[in-house]
Amino acid sequence: MDETAMMSTNKSRPEYARLAPDLQGTRHWFITDGASAEDCVRASLALAGLSPMEVWEVHDAARHASGVTFHEAKERVFADAAALYAAFDEALRDPAVATIGLRIYVLGSEPFIWSIRRIAEHHALAAEAVRLQRSGTLQRRVYCIHCHAFNEAVTRNVVTCCGCGLQLLVRDHFSRRLASFMGVQADAEVPGELPAITQPYL
């Protein structure tokens, strides 16, 4: 099977700029998980003048090893991304927190940064109030269009769906709403016939 024949012609991949301060904000949160030390340094320097600042992060030895800190910033450290998501969601339920002046800066993998974006949108934060930069792993979250399961940390172009067991071809179509790439049955035309397996998303 020609794999390119099943690839989406809709190139929906987001494009990212480096994080930059929004001087219109009155409160600032820097949220990160799994970003490279280099990108953490760059973001920290870019956002250093913002106050008041909160830093939300999944514990990351690389960032701490870099020696980067935000002076006089409140720091919140979480054991994993799920704990951070839950705390972020809970914080935005407070009307006093989710104000017009709040600005969010997110640095990390594509699944991570778009998960934060989805939570922020759920609480009606404006899109321009949330700035995203991809950093670190290229692993993808893949949404199965057949059973609606989410497959995490995908590194190959074909993945066995955790929900229905189908072999999914990872398309280059990214859904901002689902914070995922789309996965479609790879052998729909000829059962058992799959494209060459590669591992492009490390």
- Give the model's pLDDT for residue 11: 61
Domain 27-134 has CATH 3.40.50.80: yes
135 φ, ψ (degrees, to nearest 5) = -155, 150
pLDDT at 95: 86
Position 129: which residue type?
A
pLDDT at 122: 94
Taking a C-beta distance cutoff of 8 angstroms, is the pair 65, 36 a contact?
no
Contacts 24+ apart (CB under 8 A), 162-168: 167/194, 168/142, 168/144
pLDDT at residue 13, as a whole number = 82
Task: Supply the pLDDT for residue 59.
Answer: 82
Overall pTM surpassing 0.75 (yes/no): yes
Q: How far apart are CA 135 and CA 12, in angstroms?
A: 18
The sign of the dihedral angle between the CA atoms of 187, 188, 189, 192 is: positive
CA distance 88 to 33: 13
Structure tokens at 190: 């000829």
For the chain (202 residues), the mean pLDDT of every run of 10, in chain order, is: 38 87 96 92 93 89 55 89 97 88 96 95 94 95 98 97 98 91 96 94 88
What is the predicted pLDDT for the residue at 5? 34
What residues have CB less than 8 Å from 16, skipping those under 6 apart?
132, 133, 134
Domain boundaries, the chain: 27-134, 138-202
What does the alpha-carbon distance between residue 193 and residue 178 come to, in Å, rounded to a whole number?
28
What was the pLDDT predicted at 60?
63
